[in-house]
Structure 1
Amino acid sequence: MGMIKITAADGHELGAYVAAPDKPIGAVVVVQEIFGVNKSIRGVADDFAKAGYLAIAPALFDRYERDLELTYVGEDLQKAFGLYGKLSPDTALLDIAAAFKEVEKTVEGVAVMGFCYGGLMSWLSATRAEKLGIDPACTVGFYAGGVGSVATEEPTCPVMLHFGLADSHIGADQREAVKAAHPEVKVYEYEGAGHGFFNVDRADYAPEQAKLAWERTLEFLKENLA
């Protein structure tokens, strides 16, 4: 379907990339890294559509600069870090909730999943769902940066988290904080995998670990969106 426009609860209009199968078996909100709804994020949405899920990726950076797509090196990397400092979890969650409610109009059973900053937002979508007026069937976070600081918040749905053990951005303390607070959360750790190991466009891409994490994610969605 490509890009559409959606509106958050505070009246902000943002773009969202939508990929749809003929007969969706559920829906997934795909939450970006700090690089916008770029080729990688659209590719994940497309892959979910191929697996039978209606996928929507809200453009969180539209609050600061519209239609932003960044790569992972050079000036783009510096710009991404600059924008990261402006991001507010509260407004990002409003945008995620808007995407959630958009696909909920046509599909029963919606999950939230994301990468890095999006992984953190996926965790918060589980713990702050009631306040946002959403009811995720489950959430999945890949290398959720900063999750340790909110690990004691209570998820309202099943959660799965993926971490690389060679991640230079996320220490063991982050993973252990979640494990200690929530033994029921599925926390998977991948030997030799660095930050961004799922992303084919990033230097740390680890194909074997990425394949396993994708298989686990699809099985988790199948269990919770059935």
Structure 2
Amino acid sequence: MGHWQPLPTPSGPIEAWREEPAGPSRGAVVVVQEIFGVTDHIRAVCAQLAAAGFVALAPAFFDRLAPGTVLPYDAEGTARGRELVARLGLEDAVAIAAAAAGALRAQGLAVGIVGFCWGGTVALLGNTRLGLPAVSYYGARNVPYLDAPARAPLMFHFGALDPHIPPEAVEAHRRKQPQAQVFVYPQADHAFARAPDPPYQPEAAALAWQRTLAFFTEHLR
């Protein structure tokens, strides 16, 4: 059963949602939210990681600006989420991810990072700046940051139908990060892994998750 725990960060304390495996840990994963906060979807990702044997920690990135914020997946929620991530900025977001990774490492755990949408770009930066094995799901803001060399294994997931990430953007990932694993799912749109509501695409989500767990199993030994 998950629970909230305090997480000290350079900009002040925030809360983070934590899930623990029932048995011995295989490592730990920092889970980075979309622009909507630590939603049921993000907590479900944490639970799935714990079921697979990983400690999962999802910082509430918006706590410094608007504590406890969880937004609906509608136009109003999207607008508010974009406002909050713009105010937070990627530099502070990476600092929060670093604080979460540091807290997990202090417990003797090997640490990776996974993120979704906006969080997918934070996960990419967690790799290039923090040296964390990273899985980035449909990071629409990735392209400007692809020139930095990877410092750990890296995996990307994209939906072929995603209007926010055109084919040339996906190709930029392949060209600029040739060592990375890049997967494109033909019937999937943006946010295809966010169950249960559309644009959730269960077949693509299941395959991407299988690949994600295999990635962390290999690289967090």
Q: TM-score range by the shorter chain?
A: over 0.9
Equivalence map 1:128-207=2 (5 Å): 128-129=129-130, 135-136=131-132, 138-207=133-202
CA RMSD of aligned residues (A): 1.3
| Corresponding residue of 1:31 | 32
For residues 16 and 218 of structure 1, the distance between their equivalents in structure 2, rounded to whole angstroms, comes to 21
| Corresponding residue of 2:80 | 79
| Corresponding residue of 2:3 | 2
For residues 189 and 214 of structure 2, the distance between their equivalents in structure 1, rounded to whole angstroms, comes to 23
Aligned residues: 219
| Corresponding residue of 1:21 | 21
CA shift for structure 1 position 76: 2.2
For residues 162 and 62 of structure 2, the distance between their equivalents in structure 1, rounded to whole angstroms, comes to 25
CA shift for structure 1 position 85: 2.6
| Corresponding residue of 2:203 | 208
CA shift for structure 1 position 75: 2.7
Partner deviation per Cα, 1:193-217 (whole Å, 9 max, x = no partner)? 0000000144210000000000001
CA shift for structure 1 position 183: 1.2
| Corresponding residue of 2:102 | 101
Secondary structure of 2:217's partner? Answer: helix
Q: Which amino acid aligns with 2:179?
A: E
For residues 26 and 163 of structure 2, the distance between their equivalents in structure 1, rounded to whole angstroms, comes to 37
Structure 1 window deviating more from structure 2 (50-59 vs 68-77): it is 68-77
Residues 98 and 180 (structure 1), Cα distance of their counterparts in 2 relative to 1, 3 Å cut: same
Task: Quote the sequence identity (%).
Answer: 35
Structure 2 residues not aligned, in runs of 5+: none
The normalised TM-score by structure 1 is: 0.93
Structure 1 residues not aligned, in runs of 5+: 130-134
Residues 161 and 193 (structure 1), Cα distance of their counterparts in 2 relative to 1, 3 Å cut: same
Q: Which amino acid aligns with 1:99?
A: A
Residues 201 and 68 (structure 1), Cα distance of their counterparts in 2 relative to 1, 3 Å cut: farther
